[in-house]
């Protein structure tokens, strides 16, 4: 009997009419937005995307000059690492370079790039985007000759020297490397030569013609 009463009660619940809300309340309720419109959580509530940092212009252009694999012998064996020589510049007279070491190549390049920004040098270019006079830069057993050239000559230089000169903004110059061919020594000798450049007024004062 009890089972029959339960079955009858369930049938009554199913057949009972559902009470509808009054028309006024239904009209006051906000309309549910359709899919894809504003208000839809999956589409309309998205935050505005931030501009991509890759599209922003860079202050300095960076260039990897040389990568070398080095090892350190310890008690447990050899520890392999990579060194990266990176040069940066804005093509307007400012340049920098640095050497960094890390376990992976991308990490070494990133460290060298950050270190190069803290080691900036500035030179003054003359008419024709060339250097003001002939100069010889020296570092260790390496010597680099830099000679001004007329407009249209271009950069006549090897890899490390070309990287520094191009990033610094020099467009017409002749160069020659003597002695050591280690990339870091060539870069340091080139930088030493560029730092020794003097303006036209400074040269006149040194010669006593002013």
Q: What's the CATH code of the domain at 109?
A: 3.30.160.20
Domain assignment of residue 77, yes or no: yes
Q: Which residues contact 146 (CB under 8 A, 6 or more apart)?
A: 131, 134, 135, 136, 137, 173, 174, 175, 190, 193, 194
Distance, CA of 2 to CA of 24 (rounded, Å):
43
Per-residue pLDDT at 14: 54
Does 156 lie in the same domain as 117?
Answer: no
**pLDDT of res. 205:** 82
Task: Give the gyration radius of the chain's Cα atoms.
Answer: 36
Out of 82, 101, 121, a domain closes at 121
Indicate which CATH number applies to the domain containing 141. Answer: 3.30.230.10
Q: Answer yes or no: is 52 within a domain.
A: no
Q: Which domain holds residue 190?
A: 124-198
H/E element, 85:
strand 77-89
- Residue 37 counted as domain residue: no
The per-residue DSSP string of 104-133 comes to SHHHHHHHHHHHHHTSEEE---BTTTB-SS
pLDDT at position 202: 80
- The number of domains in the chain is 2
- Asked if 105 and 170 sit in the same domain, the reply is no
What's residue 126's pLDDT? Answer: 85
Inside any domain, residue 156 = yes
Q: What is the pLDDT along the chain (210 residues), one digit of tens a residue?
A: 555 555 555 554 555 555 555 555 555 565 665 655 555 555 555 555 665 555 556 778 899 999 999 999 999 899 999 999 999 998 888 999 999 999 999 999 999 999 999 989 998 888 888 898 899 999 999 999 999 998 888 999 888 999 999 999 999 999 999 999 999 999 999 999 999 988 877 877 877 776
């Amino acid at each position: 009997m009890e089972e029959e009463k339960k079955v009858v009660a369930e049938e009554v619940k199913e057949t009972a009419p559902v009470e509808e809300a009054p028309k006024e309340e239904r009209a006051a309720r906000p309309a549910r937005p359709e899919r894809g419109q504003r208000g839809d959580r999956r589409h309309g509530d998205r935050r505005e995307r931030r501009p991509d940092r890759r599209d922003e212009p860079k202050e300095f252009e960076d260039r990897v000059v040389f990568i070398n694999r080095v090892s350190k012998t310890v008690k447990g064996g050899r520890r392999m690492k990579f060194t990266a020589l990176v040069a940066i510049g804005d093509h307007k007279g400012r340049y920098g370079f640095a050497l960094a070491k890390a376990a992976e190549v991308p990490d070494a390049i990133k460290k060298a790039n950050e270190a190069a920004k803290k080691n900036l040098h500035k030179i003054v270019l003359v008419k024709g985007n060339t250097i003001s006079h002939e100069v010889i830069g020296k570092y260790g057993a390496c010597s680099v000759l830099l000679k001004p050239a007329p407009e249209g000559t271009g950069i006549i230089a090897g890899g490390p020297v070309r990287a520094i000169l191009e990033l610094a903004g020099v467009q017409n110059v002749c160069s020659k490397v003597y002695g050591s061919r280690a990339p870091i020594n060539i870069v340091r000798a080139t930088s030493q030569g560029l730092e020794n450049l003097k303006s036209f007024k400074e040269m006149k004062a040194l010669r006593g013609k002013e």
